[in-house]
Amino acid sequence: MSAPTPVVVAAYVAAYVALDWVSFIHPVGAFGITPWNPPPGLSLAFLLRYGLQHAPWLFVAALAAEFLVRGAPAPIAVLVAASLLLALSYTAVAAVLSRVLRIDVDLRSLRDVAAFITTSAIACALIALASVALFAGTGVLPPGEFREGVLQFWIGDLIGIVVTAPAVLVVTRRGTMRRRPSFETLAELTAIALALWLVFGAGLGDAPTLFYVLFLPIVWIAMRHGFDGAVFATLAMQLGLIAAIVVTGLGRSGTLEFQFLMLAIAVTGLLLGAAVSERRTIERELRTKQAALDRSLRLAAASELASSLAHELNQPLSAIGTYLRACQLMLTRKGTGDELALTMDKVIAEANRAASVVRRLRDFFRSGSTRIEPIAPSRLVDEASATLRERAAEHRVAVAATTDGVPDVLVDRVQVEAVLHNLLANAIDALKTTSGERRVRIDVAKDGSDFVRICVADNGSGVASDIAASLFDPFVTTKATGMGLGLAISKSIVDAHGGRLWHEARTPGSAFCFTLPTAS
């Protein structure tokens, strides 16, 4: 909270006196209890924005107004007491709002706007009762005007606060985007003027019964521009209303009635505007989060793929190197044409294998937009096992699959193959230290009528107990070169398909199972 500069303080006192002067219509008693009293709104905004320690300026401004606007209508002691009471009261309201209810003074949430309006309504009622009692007690106000005095005081201050304070807070808010007046702004102001004219100038009937027309532009603007729009629309409407009251020479009781109606408009507009702004903020935050999540998921998927592809590419590339060295040897010897052709074939086969690995990588990234299609689970299992056949053979792991009699599943082929690839690679890794027979079983079976369940089970080391609880969290790994992303990504892919992925401990080894929706 920054301290106000002397210019700001001077502007505040001057604005207080000026607003007191322009709003001095239909006063009750000599104290100018008017049906529209913006200075308290200005004072409240001043304290909320710059801090409660600047409360003495409220007293100065209130006393200055008594002298300059009303020419000191009562003995100086009463004027000082009344100004002190006002300053203390509004400081108390600001304290409740900022210290007890801890509202954000930028009024960015519906909760803050509702708390601001409710607190102001209760506080204004208490202040009205106390002030009017003081005036009546000191004989400044005739006893017959007590009730009307309280009512007018309450509505005048409340409408002044509800209309003025948010406008001041929005204007002095840091980082507020200033909207350039556009054709739309002009249309909105015209709508407010038109509505006021319909109510007061068109001679259509009794003004208060047509009052509902004034809601329309406020609702429109609040829906379009949120809280900030509603704040300025309400202010424009209130100024127009006061002008209309002065021009049409409406009496005090009519004015009072209009102020109650105006309060309904202001509260509706501000709450609606706050709700619209809050929703927009939430939507914006959600979009940002979603984009960040997308980015991190893609990044995670990319690193996982990169590490497993590096592994897969390493094999064909070193095989190609070995075969080519053999070819070189054969070329130095004569008469090995057949053998040379055979080895060259192997080089070509390995090069093709490397190319298919790269193609899979490209497919994966192209599949940023998912392509859901019906596919037989056996095809998914075959494709995934084919890519790991060499690795399984290298570690003497026997992979067997049973996939008969299950319906097609509705999935993104590339993504589900990546899941199977991850689970199979993990199973092979878990078997590396197993002595004796090393087995991986892939079982595909129906799971109820809507799902197919695929389990990849191994008789390996089993899941280490220290990571069992966080197995599916990212970056959980027991491998020296592992990224700990395979299971996390697999789970998010399976979740995205509407299935679920879980771990089952087996003796020996473990199984990872997941479900996929059937196509039919």
Instruction: Catalog residues that contact ligand ADP under the rule CB under 6 A.
Output: 422, 426-427, 430, 458, 460-464, 467, 471, 476-479, 482-488, 510
- CA-based angle 517:519:520, to the nearest 5? 115
CB-based contact 15:42 (threshold 8 Å) = yes
Q: How far is the CB of 471 from ligand ADP (least distance, A)?
A: 5
Give the residue with the Cβ less far from ligand ADP, 274 or 485. 485
Query: Among 16, 60, 54, 55, which residue's Cα sits nearest to residue 38?
Result: 16
Neighbour tally for 67: CB within 10 Å: 14
What is the rounded distance in angstroms from the CA atom of residue 232 to the CA atom of residue 228? 7
Least gap, CB of 462 to ligand ADP (angstroms):
6
Smallest distance from ligand ADP to CB 215, Å: 58
Strand pairing report for 501-505 and 510-517: antiparallel
Cβ closest to ligand ADP, residue 51 vs residue 484: 484
Residue that the structure tokens 């197995």 belong to: 471
Q: How far is the CB of 460 from ligand ADP (least distance, A)?
A: 5
The residues with which 135 forms a beta bridge, in sequence order, are none
Nearer to ligand ADP, 22 or 299 (CB): 299
Q: Are 440 and 399 in contact (CB under 8 A)?
A: yes
Structure tokens belonging to residue 163: 């209309």
Other beta carbons within 10 Å of 433: 10
DSSP string, 341-400: HHHHHHHHHHHHHHHHHHHHHHHHHHTTS--EEEE-HHHHHHHHHHHHHHHHHHTT-EEE
Return the number of the residue (360 or 438) whose C-beta is nearest ligand ADP. Answer: 438
- Rounded CA separation 130/133 (Å): 5
DSSP type of residue 166: H
**Tokens encoding 272:** 């609606």
Closest to ligand ADP by CB, 40 vs 486, is: 486
Contact criterion met (CB below 8 Å) for 516 and 411: yes
Residue of this chain nearest to ligand ADP (CB atom): 486
The candidate with the shortest Cα–Cα distance to 25, out of 301, 340, 248, is: 248
Cα four-point dihedral sign 213, 214, 219, 220: positive
End-to-end CA distance of the chain: 63
418 or 488, CB closer to ligand ADP? 488
CB of 491 vs ligand ADP, minimal distance in Å? 9
Nearer to ligand ADP, 107 or 488 (CB): 488
Nearer to ligand ADP, 282 or 468 (CB): 468
Q: Is the peptide bond before 217 cis (omega within 30 degrees of 0)?
A: no
> At how many degrees (to 10) do helices 56-68 and 6-22 cross?
40
Question: From the CB of 422, what's the least distance to ligand ADP, in Å?
Answer: 6
Distance of CA 476 to the CA centre of its chain: 30
Smallest gap from residue 298 Cβ to ligand ADP (A): 17
Cα separation values, 510 from 452, 461, 500, Å: 20, 8, 17
Closest approach of ligand ADP to the CB of residue 433, in Å = 11
Q: Which is nearer to ligand ADP, 198 or 467 (CB)?
A: 467
Element (H, E) at 62: helix 56-68
Phi, psi for 124 (deg, rounded to 5): -65, -35
Shortest spacing between CB 365 and ligand ADP, in angstroms = 20
Query: Measured from the CB atom, is 97 or 300 closer to ligand ADP?
Result: 300
Residue closer to ligand ADP (CB basis): 379 or 441: 441
Cβ closest to ligand ADP, residue 374 vs residue 508: 508
Least distance (Å) between residue 479 CB and ligand ADP = 4
Question: Is residue 151 within 8 Å of 256, Cβ to Cβ?
Answer: yes
Q: Which tokens sit at 321?
A: 């190197």
Least distance from ligand ADP to the Cβ atom of residue 488, Å: 6
- Least distance in Å: CB of 503 to ligand ADP? 8
Which residues in 414-490 belong to E strands, given as ranges?
A: 439-447, 451-458
CB–CB of 461/509 below 8 Å?
yes
Smallest distance from ligand ADP to CB 463, Å: 4
Residue with Cβ nearer ligand ADP (40 or 460): 460
